[in-house]
Structure 1
Amino acid sequence: MQLGGHALVADDHPLTREGLALAIRAAAPGIALDNAGSVAEAERAVATRRSGYRLVLLDLILPDARGFSGFLKLQHLLAATPIVVVSAREDPVIVEAARALGAAAFVSKSTPLDALAAALRRVLAGEAVFPPQSLASPAALSLRDRISTLSGAQLRVLLALADGRLNKQIADSLDITEATVKAHLTVIFRKLAVDNRAQALLAVQPLLAATGTP
């Protein structure tokens, strides 16, 4: 498949990045590649690459990610760009969460190069690629739908809240006022159908819980 444009590989292990890059080149020889070793680097790459990306391969566990927090950040930035979640684990709960949140695919790091390239060709053709046993539950889909209504600013506040930060700490880290944080939290609680911080954290815990070492 000859395909122009750019793809982004976000993984903190250089050898893994190279393996993923080989798979992308095999799937789409004409595509150019950018690399990132953290979510922050991936965010900067997205901001810099004004032409956008045709494909993103994202290691689920990066140094500055917690559960699906990195995925959620990039998803808000990338809009319709397909994101392929890459992980050393194939826990059905993790796979289900990836599908429910709108990932284009979930692939194991142990997948042979030719099989990975084949999966990426399918993703580039508009298909969703997941292990056969993966089936998103109604609860996971409902949570995805609620999270999808959050703005980028609201999502950043929610993720900061999940890190245990107080309102003042959230305001300082995001360079906004405490009043703005409180306003965002009010909207977040309404959209997640919860009444307070504790309930909000419980609602998103399945997506932000530790997913293991990659």
Structure 2
Amino acid sequence: MYSLLVADDHPLFRDALQTVISSGLVNAHLLEAESLAAAISLVEEHTELDLLLLDLSLPDAEGLEGLTHLRDVFPWLPVAIVSAHQERQLVLDAITLGAVGYIPKSTPRETLLAALTQILEGQLYLPPDVMRRPAPRAVLAPTIASASTTNERLSRLTNKQLAVLVCMAKGMSNKQIARELVIAETTVKTHVSAILRKLKATSRVHAIVIAGEEDLPFHQANRPH
């Protein structure tokens, strides 16, 4: 049985999420909090929580402040962002700060359930539509040196590894990548390991953040085949 907590100050959204989870996730239980302080109290009372769904517009924690505080106080608790804001840089910043997923509030019901299932199974979830958008160069590549370093790292990847990285940046699991590229899941794991090594990334999330500094589809389209 999964135990979840949603921290959101909009009762209608909490009610809607309660309806979706109760009807779509078998044996799942959802607690509710209207502020960060209330969420913290509930986490202290319910140490068996599997996931906290955090809005970025709480009255007592604006932006990523709540995520940062929760990660400091409860490092054992997975936190996913559920927000109306969908800026690509915000998504990447949240993942960098330790969020296990980012779910836009506009996400359709079935996609929301799939995202929650993916996160509860220990996988990272990123919104595909957001991650496919080219990164704003002025924001994500503030210096020519950093841009050239990322570009150099990407050039070390084989065409197949770059294709796997593109799928990773869309939030796909290894199983989904294997299906998408018509290769074995063990092969995907081998490619992911090589990608982390070549990008000098410390984790899968770190690799996705590094990839976010470049327009991956552009690199992929301009690669010699």
Answer whether TM exceeds 0.5 for this pair.
yes
Q: 1:29 to 1:77 in 2, by over 3 A?
A: farther
Stretches of structure 1 that go unaligned for 5 or more consecutive residues are 140-214
Please, what is the CA RMSD of the aligned residues? 2.2
Percent identity between matched residues is 38
1:35-114 matches, within 5 Å, as 35-49=32-46, 51-114=47-110
Q: 1:112 to 1:5 in 2, by over 3 A?
A: closer
TM-score, normalization: structure 2? 0.55
Contact residue 53 and residue 81 of structure 2 kept, 8 A: yes
In structure 2, the residue matched to 1:34 is: 31
Query: Shift of the alpha carbon at 1:87?
Result: 0.9
**Which one has the largest radius of gyration?**
2
Q: 1:111 to 1:67 in 2, by over 3 A?
A: same
Q: 1:25 to 1:78 in 2, by over 3 A?
A: farther
The number of residue pairs the alignment matches comes to 135
1:24 and 2:21 matched? yes
Q: For each residue in 1:103-155, what CA deviation from the matched residue of structure 2 results, as whole angstroms up to 9, or x when unmatched?
A: 1110111111111011100001111011235499699xxxxxxxxxxxxxxxx
TM-score, normalization: structure 1? 0.57
In structure 1, the residue matched to 2:122 is: 126
Contact residue 92 and residue 134 of structure 1 kept, 8 A: yes
Which one scores higher on RCO, CA 8 angstroms, separation ≥ 6? Answer: 1
In structure 2, the residue matched to 1:10 is: 7
Q: For each residue in 1:58-108, what CA deviation from the matched residue of structure 2 results, as whole angstroms up to 9, or x when unmatched?
A: 111100012211111222233232211011111011111111111111011
Query: Shift of the alpha carbon at 1:55?
Result: 1.1
